[in-house]
Amino acid sequence: MKSADTPQAARSHGRSAHPAGAAARPGEAEVAARAAELVRDAVLGDLARRVVAECGVDVGLVGLPEPLPGHRNGDEGMVLRHWAGTRASLLHNVAVPAGLGLGGRALAERAPTWVPDYRAATDISHHYDPAVAADDLYAMLTVPLMDGATVHGVVYASVRAVVPFGDVRIAAVDTLARAAARALAGAAAWSREKPRPAAPARPLTPREHEVLRWAATGRTNPEIAARLGLTCNTVTGYLKSAMHKLGVRNRTELALAARESGLVD
């Protein structure tokens, strides 16, 4: 045995007498943080798979809020870290600033967003068209993973066909997103992390306000679509987004909330 391995020799050299590597053992906080990270990965990987298995879609993706290279500190964004059902790899580890694409819009607005045909949609940016086309995706739904005012990520559900997203499928994805958000919140609390604060929800967009104004007068979706030169699906999307932002469940509550808040006369 080397002399430096004896307690006396260790003290003579100014080192601890503990076994080698003991000082490098992680503390409780570090262990908890690592455990929380493993829980997050497991929850989000499972979320991507369950969206495909249980919600009748072809591809599931999950974006995690992260600082984005080349963007200012404080700029919100996420990176697509989990996926299921993809055929190509262009959507893997893609950086998505808030507001860009359908997922970036859901992250910015803190509300579900969807389109029956991503490539033909006129109300979103098209920064990711090559990646979407490489996986032959069309219909797409994105739902933020919200826990109170904290956003833990965004889940994507996409179909390789032009189809509308009905209430049943939207509700199924939203249910999975809520369950995942609760699990992530528990992991964050367990590791004593400070969850990333969410920015306040954005107000209604001019188009949402315009659609809401006509809906509050009792106009049907086809009537609103004809008046504003939109498709019925687009009108439905604007109304659902406005309902989510105002925290209401149907058109009657929407009209009441709009009047009470002064959004319409």
Q: Which amino acid is at 17?
A: A
What are φ and ψ of residue 175, in 5° steps?
-65, -45
Tell me the H-state helices in the chain.
7-12, 28-54, 101-109, 129-134, 167-190, 206-216, 221-228, 232-246, 251-260
42-73 per-position pLDDT tens digit: 999 999 999 999 999 999 999 999 888 776 65
What's residue 25's pLDDT?
Answer: 54
Distance of alpha carbon 215 from alpha carbon 254, whole angstroms? 9
What's residue 133's pLDDT?
Answer: 96
What's residue 10's pLDDT?
Answer: 36
Ranges in the chain, pLDDT < 70: 1-29, 32, 71-74, 190-202, 259-265
Asked if 46 contacts 40 with a C-beta cutoff of 8 angstroms, the reply is: no
Asked if 56 contacts 173 with a C-beta cutoff of 8 angstroms, the reply is: no
Angle, helices 251-260 vs 206-216, to 10°: value is 110
Asked if 86 contacts 92 with a C-beta cutoff of 8 angstroms, the reply is: yes
Q: Which amino acid is at 143?
A: V
What's residue 61's pLDDT?
Answer: 97
- Nearest 10 degrees: Cα torsion 205, 107, 60, 88: 100
